[in-house]
Structure 1
Amino acid sequence: MSSTKSKEPLYLQPKPSRQLAGFLVLLHVTAAAVLPYLALPAWAMVFLGLLLAWSLYRNLRLYVLLNTRRSLLRLVWEVSGIWRVWDGMGQEFRARLAPDCYVHSHVVVLSLDLLDGGGRRAVVLLRDSLEPEALRLLRARLRAEHLRHRDKHED
């Protein structure tokens, strides 16, 4: 397998994922369904219900609808290993891949450290988030990057 540096930049433009939306709704509805079985005062259950509703709203907008200023709408993984990302305001950032990314055949979670003190951003990608070829290339490069880092630390 050739190194990531010999490849061309990888361009990603996530789109809204119905699968992720369904998972988030199921997760939040299940948590809300448990509330009546907790030995809590009514005001606490209402408060927790509101927190769950806020969490669902925020996560749907940020990771599914991609319509917040923190949503990452376009990503480019440069051959140098640096990422260029654009947020919902159209602002461009440079980022580095964090080591806590998750790669699976059904889901990829990119964790990106923004350079110049910009914090951290995450992108959740399911099969319906990207074109199949782009998702396949991303998974392959992430696995190769993981192996490269693991080999470097074993030396």
Structure 2
Amino acid sequence: MSSTSQLPNLDHIVWTKATTESGKNYEVGVTKAAAEIRSKAIAAGGLKPIVRANGVKEEFSIFIDWPVGDSEWKTTSSQVQNDAAITKYKLYEYDGYWKYVLHFVNTIHYDYQFKDASPDVYTCDTWTNDDHYIRFDSTDATMKKIMGR
């Protein structure tokens, strides 16, 4: 990481504990505002996912190569934007309990799975179109595949 890059402050994030299929712990996070939206939607009777204009939310599986870098935004490929509805991401080392943070922005609700090169799979259900975070430890954090349903 560049010495001029400043790590983002993650204090405004609401974190939820999760576990990979292989038994490794990690956390998924959303902004406090998104967490409040979710709580209100649940209290009102449920969450309604955002779908494509044609009314269909299609499953996908995309091979990617997102190496650990700095905390600057990276624009995703047209395939990732069109199929996975993720417009940008950051994947970087973080000074804290968890070694890595994946931060991404989506435009359609998906239950995402990110597979790294270790290979471990991290699930993040995005019930809002907003910033989403995954913080985790890995022996090889380069993201290699995104799946969604």
TM-score interval, smaller chain: under 0.3
Higher-strand-fraction structure: 2
Larger Rg: 1
TM normalised by structure 1 equals 0.25
Higher-helix-fraction structure: 1
TM normalised by structure 2 equals 0.25
Q: Relative contact order: is structure 1 or structure 2 higher (C-alpha 8 Å, sep ≥ 6)? A: 2
